[in-house]
Amino acid sequence: MKFTIDWLKDHLDTKLNDEKIIDKLTNLGLEVESFQSQPSELDNFIVAKIVSSEKHPNADRLKVCEVDIGKNENVKVVCGAPNAKQNLITVYAPPGAIIPKNQMKLSVSKIRGVTSYGMLCSEAELKLSDESEGITELSGNKYESKIGKNYFSNNAPKVIDLSITPNRADCLGVRGIARDLAASGSGKLRKINSSKIKSFGQQNLKVQIKKEKNQGCSAFGTFLIKDVKNKESPKWLKDKLLSVGQKPISAIVDITNYVMLDLNRPLHAYDADKIDTEILVRNSKKGESFEALDKKKYVLEDNMCVITDNSGILGLGGIIGGTRSATEFGTTNILLESAYFHPKSIRKTSKSLNIDTDAKHRFERGIDPNSIEEGLLVAANLIKKICGGTISKKDIQINEKFKKRKVSFPVTKLQSITGFKVSEKEIVKILDSLGFKITKKKKFLDLIVPSWRPDIEQEIDIVEEVARIIGYDKIKTELPEKVRIKPTLNKQQKLFHFLQRSVASKGYLETVTWSFTDSKINELFKEDKKEIEIVNPISSDLNVLRSSIFSNLIFYLKKNLDRDFKDISMFEIGPIFTGYKPGEQEIVLAGIKSGLASRLNWIEKDRKLDVFDSKRDVMQTLHEIGLDINKIKIDTKTPNYYHPGKSGAIYQNSFDKVPIVFFGEIHPNIIHKVDIKTDALIIFEVFLDRIKISERKIKDMKSKFQYSDFQKSERDFAFVLDKSFEVQELIKIISDVDKDLIKSIRVFDVYEGDNIDQDKKSVALNVTIQSTNKSLTDEDLNNLNKLIISSVENKTGAKLRS
């Protein structure tokens, strides 16, 4: 909502200066977006200096000038003026500027093969004088310091631009704003002097609102004004509209616009001679169409509120008029409309047809239903004054009577919500100045809500009105109590934070990427999950919700590889989506690592990353978040984007069906498809929501501290067994031999090749044996030795390697 201070003063008698008014508006909740002069076309013209001037290579009379326009880079301008010399200060017009003399719009153009960006202007071109011989010469003393600044000063009055929240329909007119300011003590609201209308005869153009279901119009008022002479608006009216950036059209249209901006009362003027017989306001039928004033043809659905005559549709009520009945300079008889349309109906229609107009914006938020007559009067008077003519008696058709809204307000409510006390007297004064009708009733105020405030329905609305007029600086600052009743984080949330920092501490950079992604990349990681499309994506490469975090990580990995980073470790923890309903999502931590484990380092050999780097990071992390590593199980059932032979799935318990982790090398096809060049690429995923965490605290879970000081012994074994036999199982068999004595098992060699059958491998293990209650004798150790060998041989078919 734009207006000037002068315009405001039409309604507000105030002594406040501009700054104070701006402050007051802010404190009332009318947010001031800006307070500056309306930009003018002349703002384009800039003081500039010719840095160098050379002869045009293909034209004797032209010059190519390097011009300093106060920006980082100079611009190149082709100029024919004889006085275009080095160091001359002059006026520059960029492409897009309109030259005052001939109203020509400049564009970047090639002049005899040299591209010219804009133009250096003569005084004649700027309409400063008749001097057209050369370009404008500005005095160095005065203008040297102004290079890059506007040449013309903008003397247009400063415009206040308010961002009006959707509840304040009443402030979409200058008068409403003045009323708020007056209520806050910033001045006095002036009376509107609507001089009486001398009316001649009946309004004899029949208007009717059709009684039907979903009728969007509840009242429709008209004047028939005859024998007018439509013309250009007088200067005061033009200036007023121009000052807020509206384009003057003709007196009749300008007057309706002016009344709308001034009083928040949208009006519409029809050329009465173009109306076929009579007006009927009714619901549209699907397929009906008309051409609107924006020159577009609209095809309507059922139940849109339309203004019609016997030939069809004239316009969409409260949204936009039609070309068929539009007023023109030749118009002599007009029908002036002032009506009330239901906000819901307006909103539905305009959304469905995708039309936004000033009238729609206002009706959608709710117009004062009691302003129909006032609007007609003010506009008709202006029309008569400017265009002459005779005004008929008014005709107001009413389909549905406006009910006054009443609120019974308990005075104590104000303090209970705001925390500060206001006397009843003060409350009454404020509400009165806002236009409420007040009856005191013990501890209540019975209020009749002003008709221009459709947003006020209940007690809390009254609290807000009083509070904002008094000012929010009256609210005290009550220091918060430092009391905690509930733990800040639950177990799952703690796990999230722990996991996040645990992985980061292993050298991974945390990133945050969009929850959406490119369906083409997502396809690679989606497996059999549903694709969740966004109906209105921001761009076609962010068109689905991600099924995997890798859809984004791989994309950004590639970008960073392209930046010449080679060894990259990144992770993200966040949602992936499995369906389009709330809750069909899962928190995943996904890590990705590319390149070499060690690169170009004097002390270590270069080594490519492999699955066991990924496994180390995962296992250490699982340890750190407190999982019992002895209980987990690993198998090789991994998603299709993992290397089928170099990846694993981890289950929290050996009996679990759903894995909590995948780790491994990425499938070579993915690297190929995404077109990535790297030495190696390993990935892992931790599915947070699948990890079962004990409800017990660590203090309740710690077992007794037990240790043994008896002698430890170590024994080495090497077994030859089937290649496909998993070491995980071998270790389990050995450790099951005697869980008390066998403290740890290390695998220190795996060998395939010479001296071993082709389908076999040799696994060498070191077993640490220790008793908690005695020193083991050689005999004890030998027995255990034998037991280990026989158990392994029996259960796996392995042979001790000799």
Partner 1 sequence: MSDIIKIKTEYLNKLKNVSDLKEINQIKSELFGKSGKISDEFKKLGSQNSEERKKISSELNDTKSELQNLIEKKIKDIEINEINLKLKNERIDVTLPERTFNRGKIHPVSQVIDEISSIFSEIGFSVEEGPDVENEYNNFTALNTPESHPARDMHDTFYLDKNKKFLLRTHTSPVQVRTMLKGKPPFKIIAPGRTYRSDSDQTHAPMFHQVEGLHIDKNINMAHLKGCLNYFIKEFFEVDKIKMRFRPSHFPFTEPSAEVDIGYEMKDGKIIIGEGDQWLEILGCGMVHPNVLKNVKVNPSKYQGYAFGIGIDRLAMLKYGINDLRAFFETDYRWLSHFGFDPLDVPSSYRGLSR
Interaction between residue 604 and partner 1 (CB under 8 A): yes
Residues 488-507 that bind partner 1 (CB under 8 A): 488-490, 493, 497, 500-507
Q: How many Cα atoms within 13 Å fall on the side-chain side of residue 654?
A: 6
The secondary structure of residue 643, as a DSSP letter, is E
Which structure tokens are listed for 799?
Answer: 């042979």
Residue 507 or 644: the one with the smaller Cβ distance to partner 1 is 507
As measured in angstroms, the least distance from the Cβ of 365 to partner 1 is 6
Instruction: Classify 569 as helix, strand or coil.
Output: strand
Convert 500-521 to b/e letters by CB count within 10 Å (16 or more is b): bebbeebebeebebebbbbbeb
Binding of partner 1 by 541 (CB under 8 A): no
- Interacting stretch for partner 1, rule CB under 8 A, among 70-78, 171-179, 207-215, 509-517? 509-517
Which residue of 104, 475, 629, 750 would you call a contact of partner 1, by CB under 8 A? 475
Please identify, using beta-carbon distances, which residue of 344 and 774 lies nearer to partner 1: 344
96: left (phi over 0), alpha (psi -120 to 50) or beta: left
Supply 171's token pair: 């402030």
Distance of closest approach, residue 603 Cβ to partner 1, in angstroms: 6
Of residues 551 through 570, those in contact with partner 1 by CB under 8 A are 552-553, 556, 559-560, 563, 565, 567-570
Nearest approach, Cβ of residue 54 and partner 1 (Å) = 38
- Under 8 Å CB-to-CB from 473, ≥6 apart: which residues? 27
| Residue closer to partner 1, measured from CB, 593 or 643 | 593
- The number of beta carbons lying within 10 Å of the beta carbon of residue 685 is 27
Token pair, residue 210, equals: 């059709």
Using the rule CB under 8 A, which residue among 146, 405, 468, 690 binds partner 1?
Answer: 468
Buried b (16+ CB within 10 A) or exposed e, 63-82: bbbbbbbeeeebbebbbebe
Which H/E stretch holds residue 408?
Answer: strand 406-410
CB 654 → partner 1: shortest distance, Å?
A: 31
Q: How far is the CB of 505 from partner 1 (least distance, A)?
A: 4
Task: Show contacts with partner 1 in window 145-164 (CB under 8 A).
Answer: none
Our CB check for partner 1 shows the closer of 603 and 701 to be 603
- Structure tokens that stand for 37 in this block: 């002069």
Where does this chain touch partner 1 (CB under 8 A) — which range of 11-19, 75-83, 95-103, 454-462? 454-462
Binder among 124, 242, 417, 789 for partner 1 (CB under 8 A): 417
Binding mask 3-32 for partner 1 (x = CB under 8 A): -----------------------xxxx-x-
Query: Based on CB atoms, which residue is closest to partner 1, 516 or 662?
Result: 516
Q: Does 605 bind partner 1 (CB under 8 A)?
A: no
Contact call for residue 176 and partner 1 (CB under 8 A): no
- Taking the least distance from each CB to partner 1, the nearer of 421 and 441 is 421
Segment 335 to 374, residues that bind partner 1, using CB under 8 A = 343-344, 347-348, 364-365
CB of 506 to partner 1, least distance (A): 6
Distance CA 795, CA 37 (A): 91
Under 8 Å between Cβ of 561 and 538: no
How far is Cα 735 from Cα 743, in angstroms, rounded to an integer?
A: 8
Phi, psi torsion values for 60, nearest 5 degrees: -70, -35
Q: Find the binder of partner 1 among 464, 610, 679, 780 (CB under 8 A).
A: 464
C-alpha 169/C-alpha 174 separation (Å) is 11
- Which is nearer to partner 1, 141 or 477 (by Cβ)? 477
Any contact of residue 513 with partner 1 (CB under 8 A)? yes
Q: Which of 61, 403, 484, 672 binds partner 1 (CB under 8 A)?
A: 484
Near partner 1 by CB under 8 A, which window of 120-128, 602-610, 757-765, 776-784?
Answer: 602-610
* Smaller CB separation from partner 1, 186 or 333: 186
Long-range contacts of 291-294 (CB under 8 A, 24+ apart): 291/322, 291/323, 291/324, 292/316, 292/320, 292/321, 292/322, 292/323, 292/355, 293/320, 293/321, 293/322, 293/323, 293/326, 294/320, 294/355
Cα torsion angle, 334, 335, 340, 342, sign: negative
